[in-house]
Amino acid sequence: MNQADSASIKQVDLPFSNGLMSARTWKTNDRHVAAVPELGLHCYGESEQAVCFKLFTVLLKYYKQLKANESSISDKGREHLKLLCAWVEGIERRMMTPRFERQNVIPLR
């Protein structure tokens, strides 16, 4: 990638990553690219929105593959799994409904 191309790279928020992983997008020729440098993952698509959605689904699939083969993955795979576990836990935490303590709930009559 040359200097002109690096100016068009955009840092985008990776939902639920807590700053452990970053995502970048850019356009090359007629294709959009999204990447997570910490994992070495790249996705390609027709639009920025499509490629970001694809990246989200690829991250989930990669997590499931690593988790399923946890006993046979390399040290690098274990580091990736550690990052992705924290990411998935963040997603799960946000999707859970908050629990209210009983004294804070007003009974309906």
Does the structure show a pLDDT above 90 at 16? no
pLDDT beyond 70 at 75: yes
The span from the CA of 105 to the CA of 86, in Å, is 32
Q: How confident is the model at residue 98 (pLDDT cuts 50, 70, 90)?
A: low
How far, in Å, CA of 33 to CA of 109, rounded?
A: 56
Contact 53, 44 (CB under 8 A): no
- What pLDDT shows up at residue 58? 95
Which domains, from first to last, does the chain contain?
3-91 (3.30.160.620)
Taking CA atoms, 28 is separated from 32, 41, 46, 80, 94, in Å, by 6, 16, 11, 27, 34
**Is pTM, for the whole model, over 0.85?**
no
Residue 17 clears pLDDT 50, i.e. is over it: yes
